[in-house]
Structure 1
Amino acid sequence: MRDNTRPLSPHLQVYRPQITSILSILHRMTGVTLALAALLLTYWLASAAYGPEAFGRAQVLLESWFGRLVLFGFTFSLFYHMCNGIRHLGWDMLWGFDMPRLRITGAIVVITSLSLTVLSWLMAYGHVGKL
């Protein structure tokens, strides 16, 4: 008889998370997040077309601390997905598949995404000239 307590194939708990797998999962998550951001943008534009009261409600929602946190997450998702997409273009040209380069480019993608997110928020709220 076969031992049915063993899994048929290795599962997530067997593998140790690696930078490539984590960044791949994050790329997929930011893609889904950007789809949700498109829905929020549609809501905002539709409220502007519907009238001043609807637009005012949308603005209050987006200017709240929770709305700004969501928008910050959407901004990071946009920059991360863009930077990692550029990294994938390098892979399409068969560049950067060795492990040291994978780690370096992964770190560059994360640091660049965070930097662009913070810089864009500083620019949006007029704090860049005051630095």
Structure 2
Amino acid sequence: MKKRMLLVWVGLVMVSLLTACNNPPSTDLADARAALDAVVAAGAEQYAPEVLVRINNKMDAALKDIEAQNAFTFRDYSVAKFNLIQVYDDSNQLRAKIAEMKGEPKVVVAMKAKPFAEQ
């Protein structure tokens, strides 16, 4: 019985240590920043400033959550990762809409919408 309890405690400690080593979503952060920069370069401030403000607010929320989680031993970046994915998706959708407003062909938009890591 004592050996079984010891194994349970060792297992719990191992799970705790593995969970504590959670890394921040750096690739998602880089992709979201690149998509946000691309939509600003496409002219989002001129064509859809209110949508750009919402996207920037999501990015700020993700950065604040990453900073807050860095202070904890047991980190959970799921909220930050969710916000970063939303920033990436919203930026690409807005860039496609801006391209439509400008009259750019859809083939160019589809090519630009690929994640930057794949190009």
Q: Same fold (TM over 0.5)?
A: no
- TM-score, structure 2 length as denominator? 0.33
Could you state the TM-score of these two structures normalised by the residue count of structure 1? Answer: 0.31
